[in-house]
Amino acid sequence: MAHHRLRERGEPPSKILASPGVVVESPYRDLVVLITGAGSGIGAATARYLGAREARVALVGRDPDNIGQVAAEIAAGGRRALAVRGDVTSAADMARAVQDTVAAFGRLDAAVANAGTQLHLADRPIHDLDLAAWDRTQDVNSRGVLLTAQAAVRQMLVQGTGGALVLTASVVALSGVAAQNPAYTASKGAVLALGRSIGVQYAKQGIRCNVVCPGSLEQTPDFEDVADPVGRVRARSAIIPMGRLGLFEELAPMIAFLCGPESSYATGGVFVVDGGMTAI
């Protein structure tokens, strides 16, 4: 069985030439990855992408039907997937999610702290901001990422073979593009800073941590929470050099790359996938 192994210091990466007659093994084969917020959006797209490339995926979410459906799709393709019901704001739930993953697959190689929320209508400029919206946003987006990372790092330290964390932030952490949503902006700024901190703190233990900052993406059904969803999509598309919103599936390869062995020298990094929006 293939197993992800960290290279020794100074050891060169393996070089595989894709030539006729040579079978190139998926870099994600047998990689054990836990993903939060895996029932929809970026999380579901990443789970499907990794599952199709022979990773073993644990899908964590609050809605058992959603994560169960995605897990079933992956399993239908002959791959292994585990659905774990859990709330990222609960330390006990996240510890159990990691335990269930290890019980099912034998170890944990990578974790994607992806679950998040954006309360479009309640998250208003600070002079008019309901603190309940602030608290709920920080609870899911900041605390939830912390608890996911904490549970994963604890397991990786026990294993002693390193690992990878990927935290989902947003381009709002890099610029004022969502000034009307200060709670969301602040929460994603916290995720970015936390990711850099973790990446440095555990580098010597071989545990890498990187942050992905998506730009404006296609939306899940809860996008109706905004006052004018159609107008918002049109306005967002107009300021993106590529002229459109991104797809969830366009984030999955980046996240998978940062989970796998091919990104073995990347830690504490911030990777932007936004159609060029923050480049202007």
Residue 240 DSSP code: S
In angstroms, the CA 31 to CA 193 distance is 27
Identify whether 9 is part of a domain.
no
pLDDT, position 23: 60
Structure confidence at residue 36 as a pLDDT band (50, 70, 90)? very high
> Where in the sequence is the domain holding 40, given as residue range(s)?
32-219+247-274
Residue whose tokens read 């107009």:
238
262 domain residue, yes or no: yes
Residues 166-211: pLDDT tens digits?
A: 999 999 999 999 999 999 999 999 999 999 999 999 999 999 999 9
Instruction: Decide if 131 is inside a domain.
Output: yes
Q: Is pLDDT at 119 greater than 80 in this prediction?
A: yes
pTM for this prediction: 0.89
pLDDT above 90 covers a percentage of the chain that reads 84
Given a contact cutoff of 8 angstroms between Cβ atoms, the answer to whether 151 and 95 are in contact is yes
Residue 88 has what pLDDT?
A: 99
Q: Identify whether 156 is part of a domain.
A: yes
> pLDDT tens for residues 207-239?
999 999 999 998 765 555 566 778 878 888 999
Confidence of residue 21 (pLDDT cuts 50, 70, 90): low
Asked whether residue 170 is domain-assigned, the answer is yes
Check whether 9 has a pLDDT greater than 60: no
Q: What is the mean pLDDT of the chain?
A: 92
Instruction: In whole angstroms, give the CA distance from residue 191 to residue 203.
Output: 18
255 three-class SS: helix
**Domain count along the chain:** 1
> Each residue of 50-68: pLDDT tens digit?
999 999 999 999 999 999 9
In a domain, 84, yes or no: yes
Question: Which residues are annotated as catalytic?
Answer: 184
Q: Give the confidence band of 12 by pLDDT, cuts at 50, 70, 90.
A: very low
124 located within any domain: yes
Q: Which residue has the tokens 């899908």?
A: 59
* CATH code of the domain containing 71: 3.40.50.720
Length reported for the chain: 280
